[in-house]
Copies of this chain bind each other. A is one copy, B any other.
Amino acid sequence: MSKTYRWGIVGPGRIAHRFADAISHIKNAQLQAVASTNMQRAEDFAQKYSIPDHYDNYEQLFFNDMVDIVYVATTHNFHCDNSVCALKAGKHVLCEKPMAVNASQVKQMIKSAQSNNVFLMEAMWTRFLPMMAEVRDVIRKGTIGTPQYLHADFGVNFEFDPQSRIFNPNLAGGALLDIGIYCFALASMVLGKPSNISSSIKMTETGVDGRSTVLLEYDGGQVAVLLQAIDMETPAEALIIGSKGTIKLHRRWTSGSKYTVTVNKRTEKTYKAKTHKNGFVYQIRAVHECIDAGKTECELMSLDETLSIAETMDALRAQWGFRYPFE
């Protein structure tokens, strides 16, 4: 039995609630502290999840000796600053996706984790889902041959609100960082780093990317097409075509458990991976296992890969001439 890890959460928003719930399902995890710039919010969160310590600033949490790992759940624009502060204080960090708004920030974070010899990972929780493990197995076994083409869509028709995080350029809103990241991470998992990028972009009135279709090309001639939108509902399905067959991930593939494997047009079989109701538990367990093993990063969602994905997104935004106001 591994040791019990005490978590600190900064940014007790919607996703932090889901995270806190996940912690409650994990034996060797407990919540030690929560911090918000709004004291009432910190207090309410602490009370709801019976968290011993709560603060109206992040520093106190970072310097709390009882905290082993910090979960950064603030808005994207703060991920880098918050994580670096926590890493400098010697805390391990699990940072919500996207790990940062650009590759330059990701590099800072990696450097900080390395110089402080602590663990850092992007909270790409979907990668740790049982379905994704099974899909990787199917690919590894060569069942569908070599992956050649990937299509993934993830679009949510959010109600337009210039004030909301998702439409606000100052908070690094937009489809790409918020939900597109899932598509990019899937393409990265299956096909690696692209060598060429084309795209179509539609900006919102507030100046963030509302909808984009991205065509990624890889050195071996493989192609990925990714559709992400915050102004349109899409089926939220993914398709991987290999040289011998295909894998379909059913709606919503990002949190899903159902997938269909077709080999040579003939045998088609649909599987359902047994999945915990809170899909966050898998990434949390992975973090624990890595730290138990003395690792400072997780092979399944390595820092190199997080950086590579950030670089692809940077290249894409450069094509669009799109910079966040604070960049």
Contact = CB atoms under 8 A, between A and B. Distances in A.
A18 to B, nearest CB: 21
Contacts of A232: 148-149, 241, 243
Contact of A241 (B217, B225, B235, B245): B235
A270 B160 CA distance: 31
How many copies of this chain? 2
A215 interface: yes
Contacts of A241: 153, 155, 232-235
A120 interface: no
Name which of A148, A211, A262 has the most chain B CB atoms within 10 A of its CB: A148
Interface in A247-274: 248, 262, 264-265
Contacts of A245: 233
B246 A235 contact: yes
A265 B151 CA distance: 20
A241 B156 CA distance: 12
A202 interface: yes
A22 interface: no
Interface in A221-248: 221, 223, 225, 227, 232-235, 239, 241, 243, 245-246, 248
Interface string A178-210: 000000000000000000101110100000000
A215 B221 contact: no
A244 to B, nearest CB: 8
Contacts of A211: 148, 221
Nearest to A197: B198
A213 interface: yes
A148 to B, nearest CB: 6
Interface string A9-31: 00000000000000000000000
Nearest to A203: B221
Nearest to A264: B233
A171 to B, nearest CB: 24
Contacts of A221: 202, 211
A211 B243 CA distance: 12
Contacts of A199: 198, 215
Contacts of A265: 233
Interface in A6-52: none
Interface in A120-156: 148-149, 151, 153, 155
A232 B264 CA distance: 10
A264 B234 CA distance: 10
Interface of A: 148-149, 151, 153, 155, 196, 198-200, 202, 211, 213, 215, 217, 221, 223, 225, 227, 232-235, 239, 241, 243, 245-246, 248, 262, 264-265
Given A225-B227, A234-B246, 15 more contacts: A149-B213, A151-B151, A153-B241, A155-B241, A198-B198, A198-B199, A199-B215, A202-B221, A213-B225, A223-B227, A232-B243, A233-B265, A234-B241, A235-B239, A235-B262
